[in-house]
Amino acid sequence: MTRTGDTPRTPLQTLAAHGQRGWVDYLSRRFVRDGELTRHVERGLAGVTSNPTIFQGAIAEGDYYDDQLREVLATEDDPKEIFLAVARKDIRSACDVLRPVFDRGADGWVSLEVDPNLAHDTQATIDEVDRLHRMIDRPNLFVKIPGTQAGLPAIEESVANGIPVNVTLLFSLQRHRAAAEAYLRGLRRLRDSGGDLRSVASVASYFVSRVDTEADRRLEAIEGHDELRGTLAIANAKLAYQTFKEVFSGPDWEDLAAAGATPQRCLWASTSVKNPRFRDVRYVEELVGPQTVNTMTITTLQAFEDHGRIADTLERDVDEARRTFDRFATAGVDYDDVTAVLEREGVDKFATSFQQLFDEIAHKRDQLVRA
């Protein structure tokens, strides 16, 4: 812990003092009901993200959901609708725990993901975002929209409708900029229709470690260039932050900000380390900067609280980050193809997790019916 006067700061509070909010990429009924989420919030946790894989693990872990599942099964048989009934209760409970943080203007957001099977269907995504927003009925809910080409109009439309959004599965600088511009278009439409810009917000979930995993796999295939391994993901994130600073500045942005708009912050996602050669908190330590978020798994959060080092690192060596891109191009690694593959695989993985989630719910359903 660090100290301010006589008051000790936790690592998450110190991170916040550097302008970055720490969130956790985990949610379960047990996590909320047993008070663990509250204890993390007391130490400075400022938000929660969830995804189908997280919910699948939560529902499978014990009998915390059985009573509600029995109630839902009395009127519902479709696994997706059963899941949404379950998710509604968990997400709303997490929103309520984080509401005091939200009311202080210090984040307090909870994210719920749109069905990834809709990632390439703009209108279906727009409809699902509206449905989830109404279903949860909490001001501190972010609805997660995949940052696919089809997702971009859904971002704009949802923001124009006054719905806060978390743009997820972003890997490339080009798509990150497009997501930011979609957010701006939505803000302008909301303002022009007389809406309250203070009611909406957005984060751009920029995935980190997966970029290194894919780029390093390609380096291994062509052999050599060992000095480049583990360098592209952080360079990619640092340049995304430069995009953030560029897009959310200037007269046009200042007009929106004066009307109550907030910028679409970079959220560093996929920050657990996949390569054991690397320091386990490197994707936290090397990406600390103002107006950003880092969402961590429980394991990474615990490691960061135990031995994380905090300094303003996000804008260090930006020119070196640009040179890193040049070096990968020279080595024969196609950045555009890397990020395109990661987006496609990311959507597919989340869709697979969603199906596994439905299968788990169906299994639970059958168990409870037989009991």
Q: What is the pLDDT of residues 128-141, one digit of tens each?
A: 999 999 999 999 99
| Confidence band of 57 (pLDDT split at 50, 70, 90) | confident
Report the alpha-carbon distance of residue 74 to residue 95 in Å, rounded: 27
pLDDT in tens, 289-329: 999 999 999 999 999 999 999 999 999 999 999 999 999 99
Instruction: Give residue limits of the domains in the chain.
Output: 11-370
| Marked catalytic residue, from 80, 144, 349, 364 | 144
CA 250 to chain centre: 27
pTM: 0.94
Identify the residue with better confidence: 21 or 275: 21
Contacts of 310 (CB under 8 A, 6+ apart): 11, 14, 15, 18, 285, 288
| Confidence band of 223 (pLDDT split at 50, 70, 90) | confident
**11-370: which CATH architecture?**
Alpha-Beta Barrel (3.20)
Tell me, yes or no, if 144 is annotated catalytic.
yes
Q: What is the DSSP string of 211-240?
A: HHHHHHHHHHHH---GGGTT-HHHHHHHHH
pLDDT in tens, 335-371: 999 999 999 999 999 899 888 888 888 877 777 777 6
Overall average pLDDT of the 30-46 stretch: 96
pLDDT in tens, 83-110: 899 899 999 999 999 999 999 998 999 9
pLDDT value at residue 131: 97
Backbone phi and psi for residue 40, each to the nearest 5 degrees, phi listed first: -65, -40
pLDDT value at residue 1: 56
